[in-house]
Amino acid sequence: MKLLVVSDIHGSPLGAKRLKRIYEQEQPDQILLLGDILDHGEGSEVVSFFRLHAYHTSAVKGNCDSVYDEKALMLSLPEHRAYDYLGHTLHLQHILSWAVSYPPGDMVLFGHTHVKTLYREKGVTYLNPGSLSYPRDEAASYALITPEGVYLKDADSDKTLSFLES
């Protein structure tokens, strides 16, 4: 089972174009969307994509998302969401909460910063896929979670930037 993890699209047509290409190439079983999907309701290409793929997208609300975005996207956007994956719990959130302690083996997926991050601390894996549209580091990016491990990838070249084995 392959999971595509994306965040911080902000309604960008370029972000939508990258997402469509990555989706077609990777053919994930599920999309995990970590918030800031639209930009104050703007982003018709993004809306079109997620309306087609809402049935296999799990999303959380970002600080720029609204109840109107939920309706447009046809997605439920809670603040936090837990997702079971191969015996591990994936904690989806937009802004990383340092006030919560997670058990070893869990994964914490977050967005918001537009900076990609992948590391393991005390048995917990932390992943920020960066931004598909407006990166605040060297490149637009996304992540893949597979039974082999977690890949952080460049959104334009698909080059693996970082990998953590399961």
For the chain, give every domain's residue range. Answer: 3-165
The pLDDT assigned to 87 comes to 92
Q: Express each pLDDT in 12-31 by its tens digit.
A: 999 999 999 999 999 999 99
Q: What is the 3-state secondary structure (H, E, C) of the chain?
A: CCEEEECCCCCCHHHHHHHHHHHHHHCCCEEEECCCCCECCECHHHHHHHHHHHHHEEECCCCCCCHHHHHHHCCCCCCEEEEEECCEEEEEECCCCCCCCCCCCCEEECCCCCCCEEEEECCEEEEECCCCCCCCCCCCEEEEEECCEEEEEECCCCCEEEEEEC
Q: Which fold has domain 3-165?
A: Purple Acid Phosphatase; chain A, domain 2 (3.60.21)
pLDDT of residue 39: 84
Q: pLDDT tens across 38-89, in order?
A: 987 678 999 999 999 999 999 999 999 988 999 999 999 999 999 999 999 9
